[in-house]
Amino acid sequence: MQSQSPAHPLLIPAEQVVQRQLAAYNARDLEALVATYAEDAEQHLLHAGTLASGRESIRKRMAERFADHALHAHLMSRTVMDNIVVDHEFVTRTFPDGLATVEMICIYEVHAGQITKATFAIGQARPTSAA
């Protein structure tokens, strides 16, 4: 009989992997975020091509993003179907024109306890008034 240990990577629910990724993103914890991605993972912009291919490319892309101290993703909803997780988020970050929030749909494919593919649909940036 096989062990049903939740620590086994094949048994980690996709939603749990994506939640760890979101928590690392909001903490701007580069190593924790990169650890949620497979070595050959890919990030794509929906209908617009590849953003990053491979863990090291993702690390470089996210290191640049994490330099923004305003960076924060607010999860609005999450849908899970087997190994696919779809998040609806509002992400606040600093753009060339200043602080703004963008609406995003993030589609994650999870295999063996790691994200293998992430596809992002990004809405228009809306300026955020400073509190």
Residue 5 lies in a domain: no
What integer best gives the mean pLDDT of the chain?
Answer: 91
Q: Using CA atoms, how far apart are residues 30 and 124, in angstroms rounded to an integer?
A: 26
The reply to whether 120 falls in a domain is: yes
Amino acid at 22: L
CA distance linking residue 63 with residue 30, whole number of Å = 7
What's 58's domain CATH number?
A: 3.10.450.50
Q: In sequence order, what are the beta bridge partners of 78? A: 87
Number of domains in the chain: 1
Is residue 96 in a domain? yes
Among the listed residues 89, 114, 117, 108, the one whose alpha carbon sits nearest the alpha carbon of residue 26: 89
User: CB–CB of 19/62 below 8 Å?
Assistant: no
**What average pLDDT does range 22-31 have in this prediction?**
98
What is the per-residue pLDDT across 29-79, written as a single tens digit (0 to 9) for each? 999 999 999 999 999 999 999 999 999 999 999 999 999 999 999 999 999
Q: Considering the domain boundaries, does residue 4 fall inside one?
A: no
Q: Is residue 113 domain-resident?
A: yes
- pLDDT for 5 equals 39
Q: Residue 116 belongs to what domain range?
A: 11-125
Mean pLDDT of 2-26: 77
Mean pLDDT of 80-89: 97
Query: From CA 47, how far away is CA 36, in angstroms rounded?
Result: 24
Q: Is the pLDDT of residue 8 over 60?
A: no
Total-model pTM: 0.87
User: Does the pLDDT value for residue 131 go beyond 70?
Assistant: no
Per-residue pLDDT, averaged over 119-127, amounts to 95
Given pLDDT bands bounded at 50, 70 and 90, which one contains residue 10? low
In a domain, 93, yes or no: yes
59 lies in some domain:
yes
